[in-house]
């Protein structure tokens, strides 16, 4: 991936279980908790919550790697070099996936190296695999642009590893956004949907509300769903639109984006022309949820276009 847009500030990665996780002392960690400097730090399952919160003030780039991974050894030094040159505008959080299985699972890291940024607590996909330094710099430039659009413009002292370094205070959320967040925290997704819809009615250009609405609608649809039962129903009735929709939603929520898109595209192809509209609408909704910058969205859009024409 070599492009990041505002639509990328979303996705199915659920980091809520790692938020505010108490940090345990790690005798194997370098002194001060970091790697070589305050902007390059080693992060564990236990300490990750600290950097998730830090991402509300300064972008945090997560480098998922392992000692046995050859491409990781090519990419990690490039990431460290670029981050240090940015002088505290970005923090690089290095995660050894072998030692931190919860983070590997949370990010659905099926192959490494995998690099994901965090902005305001939300994951932003960057790239998977070793990429050239020039491409790394291009993606970091786009990341900083996206962070600025969301008010994440703080810095940390490049010589310190303290995640509580001085940064500008975070601006308060608009009232309807704050209401939606509170509803999500309490599990009241219907109230969150209503708050985001009201925000969009007041300002149709509120892209944060639009993104939040898509995420919460997905959470509402899959709430209480039984994955095994849903898959069995979908297998029994391959052209049942609602049955296929539920499995696709569950796949998206679990990070299986290609599976979800493939299922709905196969359904679209199998249905008569006059029954396809709801499937196309759901695909477009999920495209927006995952983000137009994601290459999986581009591939699915291409196949959808070929089926349409």
Question: Where do the domains of the chain lie, and which CATH numbers do they carry?
Answer: 6-149 (3.40.30.10), 172-221 (no CATH), 224-309 (1.25.40)
Q: What is the pLDDT of residue 293?
A: 73
Instruction: Determine the 3-state secondary structure of 169 from DSSP.
Output: coil
- Output the CA angle 93-259-273, nearest 5 degrees: 140
Q: Are strands 40-42 and 91-96 parallel, antiparallel or unpaired?
A: parallel
- Model pLDDT, residue 268: 97
Query: 72, 176, 243, 247: which one is catalytic?
Result: 72
- Please give the model's pTM, rounded to 2 decimal places: 0.49
Question: Which residues contact residue 137 at a Cβ distance below 8 angstroms, ignoring those fewer than 6 apart?
Answer: 82
Residue 150: closest CA among 297, 1, 257, 4: 4
pLDDT tens for the chain, 309 residues: list them.
444 544 444 433 445 445 444 443 333 333 333 333 479 999 998 899 889 899 999 999 999 998 888 788 889 999 999 999 999 999 999 999 889 888 888 888 777 889 999 998 888 888 888 888 888 999 999 999 988 888 889 998 866 444 444 444 556 778 998 898 888 878 888 999 999 999 999 999 988 888 888 888 988 898 889 989 999 999 999 999 999 999 999 988 777 889 999 999 999 999 999 999 999 999 999 998 877 777 888 999 999 999 988
Name the nearest CA neighbour of 72 among 42, 111, 116, 126. 111
pLDDT of residue 128: 84
Annotated active-site residue 248? The verdict is no
Please name the helix (run of DSSP H) or strand (run of DSSP E) that holds residue 53, with its range, or none: helix 48-54
Q: What are phi and psi of 116, to 5 degrees?
A: -130, 135
Among residues 18, 43, 69, 192, the one annotated as catalytic is 69
Residue pair 87/158 in contact by the 8 Å Cβ criterion: yes
CA distance 185 to 298: 32
The pLDDT, as a whole number, for residue 166 is: 45
pLDDT at 22: 42
Q: Residue 187 has what pLDDT?
A: 80
Length of the chain: 309
Whether 221 contacts 246, CB under 8 Å? yes
Residue 19 is among the residues annotated as catalytic for this protein: no
The alpha carbon dihedral of 83, 87, 91, 93 has a sign of: positive
Question: What pLDDT was estimated at residue 134?
Answer: 87
Give pLDDT, residue 70.
Answer: 78
Asked if residue 175 lies in contact with residue 36, where contact means CB atoms within 8 angstroms, the answer is no
Residues near 62 by beta carbon (within 8 Å), at least 6 away in sequence: 43, 93, 95, 103, 107, 115, 116, 117, 118
Q: Give the tokens for residue 294.
A: 């994601």
**Separation CA 112–CA 171 (nearest Å):** 35
């Amino acid at each position: 991936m070599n492009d990041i847009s505002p639509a990328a500030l979303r996705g199915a990665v659920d980091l809520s279980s790692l938020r505010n996780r108490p940090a345990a002392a790690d005798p194997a960690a370098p002194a001060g908790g970091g790697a070589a400097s305050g902007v390059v730090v080693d992060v564990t399952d236990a300490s990750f919550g600290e950097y998730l919160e830090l991402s509300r003030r300064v972008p945090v780039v997560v480098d998922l790697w392992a000692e046995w991974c050859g491409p990781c050894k090519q990419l990690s030094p490039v990431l460290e070099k670029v981050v240090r040159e940015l002088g505290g505008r970005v923090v690089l959080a290095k995660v050894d996936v072998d030692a931190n299985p919860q983070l590997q699972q949370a990010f659905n890291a099926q192959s490494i190296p995998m690099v994901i940024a965090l902005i305001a607590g939300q994951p932003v996909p960057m790239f998977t695999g070793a990429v050239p330094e020039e491409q790394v710099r291009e993606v970091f430039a786009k990341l900083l642009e996206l962070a600025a659009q969301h008010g994440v413009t703080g810095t940390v002292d490049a010589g310190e590893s303290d995640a509580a370094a001085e940064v500008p205070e975070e601006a308060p959320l608009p009232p309807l956004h704050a209401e939606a967040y509170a509803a999500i925290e309490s599990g009241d997704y219907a109230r969150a949907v209503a708050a985001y819809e009201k925000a969009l009615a007041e300002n149709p250009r509120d892209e944060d509300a639009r993104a939040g609405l898509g995420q919460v609608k997905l959470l509402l649809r899959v709430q209480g769903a039984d994955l095994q039962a849903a898959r069995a129903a979908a297998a029994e009735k391959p052209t049942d639109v609602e049955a296929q929709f539920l499995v696709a939603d569950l796949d998206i929520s679990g990070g299986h984006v290609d599976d979800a898109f493939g299922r709905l595209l196969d359904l679209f192809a199998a249905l008569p022309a006059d029954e396809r509209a709801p499937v196309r609408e759901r695909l477009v909704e999920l495209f927006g949820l995952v983000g137009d910058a994601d290459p999986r969205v581009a591939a699915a859009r291409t196949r959808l276009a070929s089926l349409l024409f």
